[in-house]
Chain A
Amino acid sequence: MATTHSTIRSSDGKHVSVPKFPKDGPPPITVNNLTMAYGTFVLMKDVNFTVNHGDIFIIMGGSGSGKSTLLRHMLGLIEPAKGEVLYGDFNFTKGEPLEREEMLRHFGVLYQGGALWSSMTLAENVGLPLGEFTDLSDAEILEVASLKLALVGLKGFEGYYPSQISGGMQKRAGLARAIALDPEILFFDEPSAGLDPISSRLLDDLILELRDNLGATIVVVTHELASIFAIGNNSVFLDAESRTMIAHGDPKDLLAHSTDHRVRTFLTRGGEDAEKSARNHG
């Protein structure tokens, strides 16, 4: 699996087998001047960034700074008050509903709690997008679903219902579903929330594997410092006080060179002193 050549039925019934976001094309994700608001309350304004091919792009910031809301805007679950989101050269914000739906099929999303459909088994969960958007037979769908579950370490759990497995397993099953159609862009909402440090680390490794082997571009919402430095190579930092983004770039560079004390405080878990004392304890 070097690059993704998703064999997905497009809306006109033809088969597309070319990557939606070619490497020599425009950046897969561009966010222009985005303003997010609930009614008249502006949550975040003037958000601008681009995500390049093969990036693991981190959306970080303190609790309540609007990280998940930004993700929901990027996915079209909330309409922006101003500004736009572009995928390649397609203006997603202004796009027609059917075109947007078609675009969404090139994405995979892992939600905070997994968001598995509780009335379906794991195999059915993973198989649903395959059944909807490919011409595979039922037996082939089951085979592919088993493969995806095996990739996330859930081999043999095909017949289980989401309520019968643990939270960490639900998250991994959610990931299996997200990668069902070999998406070119993957979104992760707080992947390590509610996981123990080891599971969280394993999930990070899995994300890196997916990027390297699937050739996907990945967007991760997280405030988990260990994950941020382990996987991120590009990021945006949202600040709740000033209600805008205050930093953009590789998190490791931000740690080394950022002069903004808010970014530094966040990336050093409350300050350099705290970091030093943590090192001494370690």
Chain B
Amino acid sequence: MQAIKQSQPSGQLSFARSDNSTLVVRLSGDWHLRHGLPGPDLVLKQLDTAPKPARLTFDAAGLGDWDSGLLTFLLGVSEICHTRKLPADWSPLPEGVRGLMQLAEAVPEKAGARHEAAHSSFIEQLGREAISAARSLDEFLAFFGEVTIAFARLAVGKARFRRVDLMIVIQDCGANAFGIVTLVTFLVGVILAFEGAVQLQQFGATIFVADLVGIAMSRDMGAMMAAIIMAGRTGAAFAAQLGSMKVTQEIDALTTMGISPLEFLVLPRVTALFLMIPLLCVFADCMGVAGGAFVSVTMLHTSLRSYLIETKHAVTLTMFFGGLFKAAVYGIIIAVAGCLRGFQCGNSSSAVGDAATQAVVTGIVYVIVACGIFAFVFNVLGI
């Protein structure tokens, strides 16, 4: 009778041969999950050592306390016995262990239930991503069309939403966004002025900082910064609100009541953002100019009066209204992207998070694409 002792952190596992064909697995000590698990591969090694055993049994006389750590080990052993068609005698094990083993093995594994990890090649992934990106544009345009139809219905008095909802969204994406827009656009004005001043100082033309900041803010930066802030702030909020309404079946409740969720939820949000972003843009333009003036007055020693006069000369009404027009378009894009992602949300809390992320990404990407298109079109039109 040969015995090999394996030292284990918790329970002790040792092997013996009662006769040449029977392997005795001796379990002793306390088998606790938290002290680490001995793997069933030790048993496997024993089964491969000559003389090869034809039967397996246990000796649990020295077994102390045990928990599911022991069960995990035994299930591993049981699986080995099954694959090798090795008869095993489980009777020496405590009754509780046998009961739980039976329970674990009572329902056979359902064929096909286990998901095989699918490995796809880089090319395949690239293709999938490209297709889904194209589809995303498709969905955006389709949804945009539905929203347009809903607005047409609103215009002829067939669509309805609650006025109070519109007011709440207006407050949220208008007045409540003032603080962050102030901070960001003031700093953008400061940065533009700084960058310009360093270059213009070389020619002694620091007064043109006013032109630089004024034109940049009114043409593009005011609208763009307002749009990016609103995409992160309000677009994400729209997606999260509608997404969680989907999870809690509130959107289904509207549908089955014969109320179109598109009209009831999307119209106030798009309207509010469409109305508020141009106002924020005006404010952003002003704050940007204020930031530029701050740098010019404190560092370049230009007088505030001459700075403002220079700004007035540089900025035309066309530029200013061009900026407002862009802002209104960005507002629609952000609101539609946010609502679309909310409606597409899956049925879990993590899906709501994904929807919010997707809303911001879609919103900002489409805003920048639109900005590029505007730059080209305005250039062609000579604006």
The reply to whether the CB of B258 lies closer than 8 angstroms to some CB of chain A is: yes
Interface bits B110-122 vs A (CB < 8 Å: 1, else 0)? 0000000000000
Cβ A111 vs Cβ B252 within 8 A: yes
Interface residues of A in 107-152 (CB under 8 A from B): 107, 109, 111-113, 115-119, 128-129, 132-133
- Contact partner of B256 (CB less than 8 A), chosen from A109, A113, A118, A133, is A109
Whether B255 lies near A77 (C-beta < 8 A) is yes
A264–B248 alpha-carbon span in the complex (Å): 34
Contact of B248 among A107, A115, A129, A187 (CB under 8 A): A115
- A102 contacts B258, CB within 8 Å? yes
- Segment 232-283 of B: residues with Cβ below 8 Å from A: 245, 248-250, 252-260
Q: How far is the CB of A179 from chain B (nearest CB, A)?
A: 12
State A119–B244 Cα separation when bound (angstroms): 12
Give the chain A neighbours of B257 by CB distance below 8 A: 104-105, 109, 128-129, 132
Partner of B253, one of A115, A119, A132: A115
Q: Is the CB of B258 within 8 A of A77?
A: no
Interface status of A89 (Cβ within 8 A of chain B): no
Bound Cα distance A163, B162 (Å) = 21
A26 to B: closest C-beta gap in Å: 22
B160 contacts the other chain (CB 8 A): yes
Q: B160-199, CB under 8 A of A: which get 1 and which 0?
A: 1010010010000000000000000000000000000000
Which of A72, A119, A177 has the most C-beta atoms of chain B within 10 angstroms of its own C-beta? A119
Q: By the criterion CB–CB under 8 Å, are B160 and A77 in contact?
A: no
Per the bound structure, the CA–CA distance linking A187 and B255 in Å amounts to: 14
- A272: B residues at CB distance < 8 A: none
Closest B residue to A110 using CB positions: B253
Contact indicator B258/A104 (Cβ below 8 Å)? yes
Chain B residues whose C-beta falls within 8 Å of the C-beta of A132 in the assembled complex: 160, 257-259
Residues of B within 8 Å of A, CB-based: how many? 17
* A255 adjacent to chain B (CB < 8 Å): no
Q: Does A75 contact B (CB under 8 A)?
A: yes
A101 on the interface (CB 8 Å rule)?
yes
Q: Are A75 and B249 in contact (CB under 8 A)?
A: no
Complex Cα distance, B250 from A117, in Å, reads: 6
Contacts of B259 in A (CB 8 A): 128-129, 132
Residue of B162, B165, B249 near A113 (CB, 8 A) is B249
B252, A101: Cβ atoms closer than 8 Å = no
State the total of A-B contacts with C-beta under 8 angstroms: 57
Please provide the chain B residues from 202 to 249 with a CB less than 8 Å away from any CB of chain A in the complex.
245, 248-249
Q: In the complex, what residues of A have CB within 8 A of residue B256's CB?
A: 75-77, 104, 107, 109, 187
Q: Do A133 and B258 have beta carbons less than 8 Å apart?
A: yes
Give Cα A77 to B250, complex, Å: 13
Give bound CA distance, A128 to B264, whole Å.
Answer: 11
- Chain A residue with Cβ nearest B160: A132
Please name all residues of chain B whose beta carbon is closer than 8 Å to the beta carbon of A116 when the two chains form the complex: 250, 253
- Which residues of B are found within 8 Å of A112, using beta-carbon distances? 249
Alpha-carbon distance A76/B257, docked complex (angstroms): 12
Q: Chain A contacts of B165 at CB under 8 A?
A: 119
- Which of B162, B252, B260 meets A115, CB within 8 Å? B252
Q: Give the CA-CA distance A111 to B245 in the complex, in Å.
A: 13
Q: Once the chains are docked, how many angstroms separate the CA of A75 from the CA of B160? A: 22
Do A118 and B248 touch (CB < 8 A)?
yes
A132 to B160 alpha-carbon distance, docked (Å): 8
Residues of B within 8 A of A128 (CB): 162, 257, 259
Residues on B with C-beta less than 8 A from A117 are 245, 250, 253-254
Question: From residue A32, how far is it (CB to closest CB) to chain B in Å?
Answer: 21
A39 to chain B, nearest CB (A): 15
Across the two chains, which residue of chain B brings its CB closest to A180? B257
A71 to chain B, nearest CB (A): 10
Chain A residues near B260 (CB-CB < 8 A): 101
* CB proximity of A189 to chain B, nearest CB, Å: 8
Complex interface residues of chain B between 121 and 167 (CB less than 8 A to chain A)? 160, 162, 165
10 contacts between A and B (CB under 8 A): A76-B255, A77-B252, A104-B258, A105-B257, A109-B252, A109-B253, A111-B249, A129-B257, A129-B259, A132-B259
Given contacts A105-B258, A112-B249, A132-B259, 14 further A-B pairs with CB under 8 A are A76-B256, A102-B258, A104-B258, A109-B253, A109-B257, A113-B248, A115-B250, A117-B250, A117-B253, A118-B250, A128-B162, A129-B257, A132-B257, A187-B256
Residues of A bordering B, CB below 8 Å:
72, 75-77, 101-102, 104-105, 107, 109, 111-113, 115-119, 128-129, 132-133, 177, 187
- Please name the 5 residue pairs, one residue from A and one from B, whose CB atoms are nearest each other, closest first: A115-B249, A104-B258, A115-B253, A105-B258, A111-B249
